[in-house]
Amino acid sequence: YQVDAFTDQRFAGNPAAVCVLDAWLPEATMQAIAAENNLAETAFVVPNGERYGIRWFTPTAEVALCGHATLASAKVLLDHYHPLRTLQHFDTRLSGPVSVAKEGEWYVLDFPADMPGLVAAPQGLFDALRTQAVPVFKGKTDLVVLYPNEQAVLALSPDIRALERIDARGVICTAPGDEVD
């Protein structure tokens, strides 16, 4: 299946492939399927009683967690395989249990929390962001840089090459906003 998540229009949103299997395929086979699909993620799901195991692959690697491909997997399972269910639980290999509830036409994700803690900024972070020091938090894999206001975030012009050298999967810059954060 190919599902466009986060939209109600065809050929919009965030596409994900979903492969419903009876048993796990070899990793190399799942990776090859994901490469051929050439979407941000391909989800593979395998039944385990009422639950399903789920794994996500990009065209080049397996990832620990993927929201839109989980949403797509739940839609496929709840619409085509278990239409009387309104809740689908998944067991992940790397991120713990996740679930998706169907509420009318909406699907609601319940993912594990990744509560970041205050840390010292990694060397080179503020040079890469081209800003002065502000509080930095770290979750499992990402850094969260907290600016004092929305204008500070809008003014960012980071050195992307320098950011690639920072030891983190991603760097998230945020602030209290005028209307939203």
Q: Which residues are the active-site residues?
A: 41
Residue 124 phi/psi, 5-degree rounding, is: 90, -10
Q: How far apart are CA 50 and CA 64, in angstroms?
A: 22
Closest CA to 124 of 173, 170, 162, 171: 162
- Paired tokens of 92: 């992940």
Closest CA to 75 of 86, 66, 65: 86
Q: How far apart are CA 96 and CA 110, in angstroms?
A: 11
* Location of structure tokens 């048993």: 23
- Paired tokens of 111: 């993912």
Q: Are residues 44 and 55 in contact, defined by beta-carbon separation less than 8 angstroms?
A: yes
